């Protein structure tokens, strides 16, 4: 079972772009997986102050409805550092739209799921 860690910006895709990330992940992942999110990503989500603020409540409801596992972490590091460490430790795949995080993940040979053309998902070539 492969852990897929959803970044804050990635979990907003269904609300912002009307893309069903869950059926897309099922389409591209030909392996057993479990969806998860870092607890600090939830904190980031709840603290959004921009126009995306209107997506917070439906996104939190979606996380609950889909039974996405919440990974508890310790304070001290930023969310991206925690995601990278967790992905390395658990040999996980990371789903993100963050260009800097994707670059770091690629450097560490961690597989990434990302959105293409605002309509479908792709899994990086450096897959498991």
Select from 4, 61, 10, 14 the least CA-distant residue to 35.
4
Q: Please, what are the averages of pLDDT over each run of 10 residues along the chain (128 residues)? A: 96 94 95 96 89 90 96 86 94 96 94 94 75
> What was the pLDDT predicted at 74?
82
> What was the pLDDT predicted at 127?
52
Domain 2-123, CATH number (from 1.10.10.410, 2.60.40.290, 3.40.50.1010, 3.20.20.60): 3.40.50.1010
> What was the pLDDT predicted at 14?
95
Residue boundaries of the structural domains of the chain? 2-123
What string of H, E and C letters represents the secondary structure of 63-118?
HHHCCCEEECCCCCCCHHHHHHHHHHHHCCEEECCCHHHHHHHHHCCCCEEEEECC
Write the CB contacts of 57 (distance below 8 Å, at least 6 apart in sequence).
none
């Amino acid at each position: 079972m492969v852990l897929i860690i959803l970044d804050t910006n990635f979990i907003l895709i269904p609300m912002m772009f009307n893309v069903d990330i869950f059926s897309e992940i099922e389409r591209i992942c030909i392996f057993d997986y479990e969806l998860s999110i870092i607890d600090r990503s939830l904190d980031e989500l709840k603290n959004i102050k921009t126009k995306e603020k209107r997506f917070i409540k439906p996104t939190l409801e979606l996380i609950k409805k889909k039974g996405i596992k919440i990974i508890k972490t310790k304070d001290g590091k930023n969310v991206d550092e925690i995601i990278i460490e967790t992905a390395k430790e658990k040999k996980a795949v990371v789903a993100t739209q963050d260009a800097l995080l994707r670059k770091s993940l690629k450097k560490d040979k961690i597989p990434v799921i990302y959105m293409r053309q605002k309509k479908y998902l792709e899994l990086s070539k450096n897959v498991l």
